Each structure stands twice: as C-alpha cells, then as structure tokens.
Chains A and B, each alone.
Chain A
C-alpha cells in the first residue's frame, strides 16, 4: 500500500478558490488604485497640499465634530488650492492609526488634524514617529517638549472664557439658583469648562450651585436625556453640557421647559424658547492660519510653528451664541462687560483665592493663573459651588 496522498479537493472547490482569490485581488487592487492616482503628486508643502481631517463622530452632529468640520470647510474656502480629505466616525482605537496611515500613504496628506481627544496617546504619537515628515496637529492634547515627537503640535481654544460668560448669563437668569452641567468624562478640559461656568455664575450671585452629572462617554443619548430629566426633577432650571453632541440635552430640556446654554456650535434652533447663549468654537481662523504657515514652508519640527497653540475669545478661537429672548437687558450688560475684559486681556478667571468643593485651596490668595498657565491644563478638581466629584 503505497498510495500517494493527495489533498482531497474537488475540481469545483479549486475553481471556486481561484475565483475568490482573483476577485479579492481585483477589489484590493482597484480599491487602492483609484485613490493613489489622485494623491502621490500632492506630496510635500506648497500649492495643492493635501490636508487630512479625522472626526470621532458624524460631521453634522450639532457639536464637537460639526465645529471642526465647519472649520475645515472654512479653511478650504480661504485656501482653494488645498485638497481636503476627511473621515468621520473613526473610533479612538487602532482604527484611527489605520485612517491616518491611509491618508498619508494613499492620499498623500502632509498635514493631519485628528481631532478627537483620545486619538493623541498612543495613536498620533506612534504614527508621528513613523512619519517624521508629516505634521500632526491635535486638538486638546498636551504636548510635552522632549518626550513627544517634534512633528506633533497641539492647539486648543480657551472656550472656558465663553463658558464663564455663559455662566454669568445662566446665573442671572436662573430662578432657582441651581444650574446643571452634563459632562462626559472628568478630564481636565471638561473640568475647566464646568469650573469656569460655575465661577462665572458665582461672580454675580455667590449662592448659585452647579450640579454635574458625568455620563461616562462622549455620546450616550439615552443617559444624556435621563440626566436632563433628573436635573429638572431636582429643580435645576438652566442646563448646559460638554458632550459630543448637545442635541439630546437641548431638546430634552426644551421639552421640559427649562433654560439651556449651548456648547460646541449654535443650538438656538433646537431650543427656541429656552436658549440663553452658548460657548461655540471658531476653528476657521486657526485652521486657515496653520495651513498658510505650512504652505510658506514653516514646520513644527524646526519650531517655526509653535507646538502649543492656544487662544480664547480675543484670538478668535471661540465665540458666544447670540443671546436668546429670555436674557434680560441687565444680564446682557453684565455679560458684555465681562466679554470686554476678556477682549482687552485684563480678565483672569482663576485668580485666588479659589477653593475646591472639598474645601482645599487650589489657587492661593494673590496667585493668579493666566489662561496660558499649564497648571490649568492638568486641572483635577471641581471648584466650590459645584456639586459633583471627579473620582469615578
């Protein structure tokens, strides 16, 4: 018995396998083929540069992503030679690394704006090491000189200045003296908004409290609605939020007949009766400026573009929504007065003495932390008057 062993595949199976492999090859070839032909040539700076934007959610969510997408569109309107490649709904996982890689390798992008907070560490940092000639700009991340790659930059707006003014409006309009803040996660940027909102309200009326509810993630429509309802049940009559899309919060609050203060983008149309004002991003200026710098040959690596780019109302990084019908004249005046102080640079939100809600002094008397102070970017407390806790 010396039968030669053959793998027992029928002719049909062999043909099917060959067909499948061929089909896969064709699709893979086509898939890369058509995009690669457009890119490639656009490599390098100067005219016709390709710029990539990555968003964590949909581009028209009335929120964080919409603000960035509007900024990107505004940038392209100013620099028509720039080729914009965008990808929405990219999770904060290795998926974003793949998106960045394909934007660089296939589309030939030389500037990337991965906008979500969680993209930074480790995904952007890893890719930046791998592609030293690509410039990565991240929104909100804290660039550390020496430890992070030189081609990574970070930009962020001091939107808490707008939140401070929104807090003044909320504190003066509230009848119960209880404000609500629906937040995603207790990270420094979120805490800073909560604290500034509360400090603004208490600068006018020192007994106002701000109740915080953390939903645990950036997009939790049902929990956001539940949180809004619970707050109304507890007598809160102005609600604002820091989640990816404030749509649910605004609409639920409007249904329950309380006031709202927007965030990220203008939500006045969602809450026509209750909308007071809102803190909005204004990314067009900053994106146009960065692209212009890159076109003239400036880079992060040689230091001609600063690694940390920050600004507030004065620098045009953020703005306030138009006041709603429920805002009184006196309130508008107080808000405009504060805004004028921000515009001339004389306003300092975090000026001592400020205690956290545990009673510890976090900003000593006489100390005044300017907006640029890196201490504020590592904030891990809630100020006095905020009901909530940063622990999980």
Chain B
C-alpha cells in the first residue's frame, strides 16, 4: 500500500481536481462533439450519439475483457459506432424521414443493444488502457495522479485542429461543407449528397464510439448501464454551443469535463452548501455564455445552411 498518503492539498486540491477533471472527464465529450460536428457540417443531425456512446463503452469493455487487449477494444468500439452510424445515415436520408426522430429512435436502439449485450460484462474487470505519465518522481502523489494522461485524450486534442484544417483547406472538407450548406450547389458540382452524408455520419459515429471506449476503459473505467448519464446528448448540444467549430468543441468539452469535478472537489475541502448547484454548474455556465454571446442582429454564425432541413 502506498500509505505514505499525500498531505492535504486544501484549495489547491480543487484547482487540481478541475484541471485533472478537464482531461479525465472531458475526453468523451470531446470525441462525441467532434463526431457530431462532422455529422452536422454535412447537414444531418445525429442525436443517436448517446446510444452510440453507450454501445461504444460496452463494446470496448467487452472486447478488452475477452481479448485482453484494450486497444482492440477501442477499435471495436469505433466499428460498433460505424455500424450504428450506417443505420442512422441510411434511415435519415430516406424520403420524408426526419433525422431528429430517427436520432431519438437510435438513442433507444443503441442503449438497448448495449444493455442487452452488456449484461455479462458488468461484473468482470477488463484490462484498462495504459496512461502516459507526465509526472516526475519528485512531485507530490496527488499531482502525479493528475498527470496520468490518457492517450485517447491526446488523440482527441490532435483530432480537433486536424478536423478544423480538414474543413477549411481540403477538397473533401469543401464537399462536406457544400453538402451541408447548400445541397443544390453540391449536386450541381456533381457531388453525391447521399454518399457524403452517409460517410460523415459513419465517421462521426466512429469517433463517438471511441468516446464511449474512453468512458469504460479509462475514466471512470467500468461498464455499468448508467455510465453515460446523458453525456452523449450534452455533447450534441456542445456542438451548437461551439458554433460548429472543432477547436471551440475542444474548449467546450474541457469546460464541461472540468465542471463535473467541481461539485465533489468543493465538498471535499469543506464547502458544504449548494452541491446540487455546483453539480449544475456546466448547464448554468452554458446558459450564461449563450446569453452573453447571442445577438438579435445576426443569425447564429457557422450553422450549416441545410442543417435539419428536408433537402
């Protein structure tokens, strides 16, 4: 036992918890919001990512347990996401099918699949993803624990600018933006709207599946049926909050991840009152930012023109 337990950190502990929380708790938000960003840029909404997150978490945990390789679990989670994404992508593009309605059906379907196949995996302990240790030996143990960073987090941080560059400066990025902003123009360019949207939804779901893997294989590192607690839906909302900008998605995810740590951390230093309020901090923060950044003079910037329309 490492019983030479750390001395009390006091208020530094709160800051440390929030900083560590951004990296630990922000990872699933990051992957799901990047995936949704890609999907929505092509003009479709995928609310089903909540279900994809759960399926990803379950698949990753199950495969990691069965094969003993957590990275295989991550890959399988992504593939399971692609499967759900294919269903959503195909269904939501049928004539007179509403993508929000399909998305809600996919939440139920994805979580149902995850619960059904996940039953035997609630009890066993699966091998977890290795972490990258940035701390040196001289640091206090609390700091060392906070600096155990998941490679998935680093991957997510790398994907955000990459996605931003992809939208801005590549031919494929242009296709996606064109399909999302003006399907008619895209069709005139000779781009297949169906294929572009299908691929965008599938790759977005792949990312969301990996977000699920970070829940079950990194933090908190278990598979239970209530592991997501609505994070998938919140991440979908984050995309709107981030104005469909991948870099802003990164900041928003970090903010929400850190805010999750606020309530418990404040209580552990003796701030006893109002923990329900602290737990609600991310939502209050979102509302405040929405209020301060909105303007009656212009429409929402960055919103893909054809988002959620029937074209």
Contacts and interface: CB of A to CB of B under 8 A. Distances in A.
Q: Do A and B bind each other?
A: yes
B16 interface: yes
B151 interface: no
A256 B279 CA distance: 24
A247 B14 CA distance: 24
A391 interface: yes
Contacts of A215: 263-264, 279
A234 interface: yes
Give the most central of B9, B222, B273: most A CB within 10 Å.
B222
Contacts of A233: 6, 9, 13, 16-17, 142, 145, 268
Contacts of A274: 1
B256 to A, nearest CB: 11
Contact of B273 (A220, A224, A391): A391
A345 to B, nearest CB: 36
A67 to B, nearest CB: 14
B184 interface: no
B219 A216 contact: no
A119 interface: no
Interface stretch (B68-76, B84-92, B115-123, B165-173): B115-123
Given A58-B122, A221-B229, A259-B1, A232 B142 contact: yes
B39 to A, nearest CB: 24
Contacts of A273: 1
Contacts of B263: 215-216, 223, 226
A62 interface: yes
Interface in B129-148: 142, 145
A338 interface: no
Given A212-B267, A213-B267, A232 B5 contact: yes
A259 B3 CA distance: 9
B79 interface: no
A221 B142 contact: no
Interface in A164-218: 175-176, 178, 180, 211-216
Contact of A252 (B16, B17, B220, B261): B220
A144 interface: no
B153 to A, nearest CB: 15
Contacts of B154: none
A70 to B, nearest CB: 12
Contacts of A384: none
Contacts of A389: 272-273
B25 interface: yes
Give the most central of A61, A89, A274: most B CB within 10 Å.
A61
A299 B105 CA distance: 45
Nearest to B3: A175
A232 B145 contact: yes
Contact of B264 (A89, A223, A326): A223
Given A221-B229, A222-B25, A230-B268, A175 B122 contact: no
B158 to A, nearest CB: 23
**Could you tell me the dominant secondary structure of chain A's interface residues?**
loop
B276 interface: yes
B221 to A, nearest CB: 6
Given A233-B16, A388-B272, A392-B276, A221 B227 contact: yes
Contact of B5 (A57, A222, A258): A258
A225 B260 CA distance: 10
Nearest to A249: B220
A236 B275 CA distance: 20
B268 A234 contact: yes
A274 B6 CA distance: 16
A180 B267 CA distance: 11
A54 B60 CA distance: 29
Nearest to B140: A233
A270 interface: yes
B260 A230 contact: no
Given A57-B226, A213-B267, A235-B8, A256 B145 contact: yes
Give the most central of B260, B267, B268: most A CB within 10 Å.
B268
A229 B14 CA distance: 11
Give the most central of A57, A62, A229: most B CB within 10 Å.
A229
Given A235-B6, A235-B7, A274-B1, A57 B225 contact: yes
B265 interface: yes
Contacts of B5: 175-176, 232, 235-237, 258
Nearest to A238: B5
Contacts of A392: 273-276
A183 to B, nearest CB: 10
Contacts of A220: 229
A89 B16 contact: no
Contact of A248 (B115, B142, B145, B220): B220
Contacts of B9: 233-235
Interface of A: 57-58, 60-62, 89, 175-176, 178, 180, 211-216, 219-227, 229-237, 245, 247-248, 251-252, 256-259, 269-270, 273-274, 326, 387-389, 391-392
Given A222-B25, A226-B24, A248-B222, 16 more contacts: A58-B119, A60-B119, A60-B123, A219-B226, A220-B229, A226-B260, A232-B142, A233-B9, A233-B268, A234-B10, A235-B9, A251-B220, A252-B220, A258-B1, A258-B2, A392-B275
23 contacts: A58-B225, A60-B122, A62-B123, A178-B8, A215-B263, A215-B264, A221-B222, A221-B226, A224-B220, A226-B260, A229-B17, A230-B265, A230-B267, A234-B13, A236-B5, A236-B268, A251-B125, A257-B2, A257-B3, A258-B1, A326-B1, A391-B272, A392-B274
